Amino acid sequence: MDRKHLKYTLTWALLITMLFVLIELLTVFDIIGQYGITTIVLIGINLIAAVGLNLVIGMSGQFSLGHAGFMAIGAYATALMTTALPSIYGFILSLLVGGLISGLVALAVGIPTLRLRGDYLAIATLGVSEIIRIIIINMKITRGPAGIFGIPAFVNWQMVFVLSVIVIIIVVNFVRSTSGQAIIAVRDNDIAAESLGINTTKYKVMAFVAGAILAAIAGGLRASFIQSVSPQDYTFMQSITILIIVVLGGIGSISGTVVTAIILGVLDVILQNFGTLRMVIYALVLIIVMIFRPKGLLGTTEFSLQKLLFDSGGSHDHNDSKNARS
Contacts (CB under 8 A) with another protein, residues 208-247: 236, 240, 243-244, 247
In sequence order, what are the residues at sequence separation of 6 or more whose Cβ sits closer than 8 angstroms to the Cβ of residue 75? 98, 219, 220, 222, 223, 229, 233, 234
CA dihedral 114, 117, 122, 126 (to 10 degrees): -40
Q: Residues binding another protein: what is the number (CB under 8 A)? A: 77
Question: Among residues 84 and 318, whose Cβ is nearest to another protein?
Answer: 318
Q: For residues 95 and 81, what is the distance between their CA atoms, to the nearest angstrom?
A: 9
Q: Which residues of 210-234 are buried (b: 16+ CB within 10 A; e: fewer)?
A: bbbbbbbbbbbbbbbbbbbbbbebb
Q: Is 4 in the site for another protein (CB under 8 A)?
A: no
Q: Which of residues 242-271 bind another protein (CB under 8 A)?
A: 243-244, 247-248, 251
Q: Is 16 in the site for another protein (CB under 8 A)?
A: no
Q: Which of residues 38-57 bind another protein (CB under 8 A)?
A: 57
Tell me which amino acid residue 7 is: K
Tell me which amino acid residue 126 is: L
Smallest distance from another protein to CB 200, Å: 7
Q: Is 116 in the site for another protein (CB under 8 A)?
A: yes
Q: Which of residues 280-319 bind another protein (CB under 8 A)?
A: 280, 282-287, 290-291, 294-296, 300, 318-319
User: Could you say which of 119, 146, 266, 270 contacts another protein (CB under 8 A)?
Assistant: 119
| SS3 call for 44 | helix
Q: Which of residues 167-196 bind another protein (CB under 8 A)?
A: 170, 173-174, 176-182, 184-185, 188-189, 191-196
Smallest distance from another protein to CB 215, Å: 19
Residue 143: CB atoms within 10 Å: 18
Q: Which of residues 137-156 bind another protein (CB under 8 A)?
A: 137-138
Q: For residues 64 and 118, what is the distance between their CA atoms, to the nearest angstrom?
A: 9
| SS3 call for 149 | strand
105 near 252, Cβ under 8 Å? no
User: Could you say which of 123, 153, 226, 269 contacts another protein (CB under 8 A)?
Assistant: 123
Q: Is 117 in the site for another protein (CB under 8 A)?
A: yes
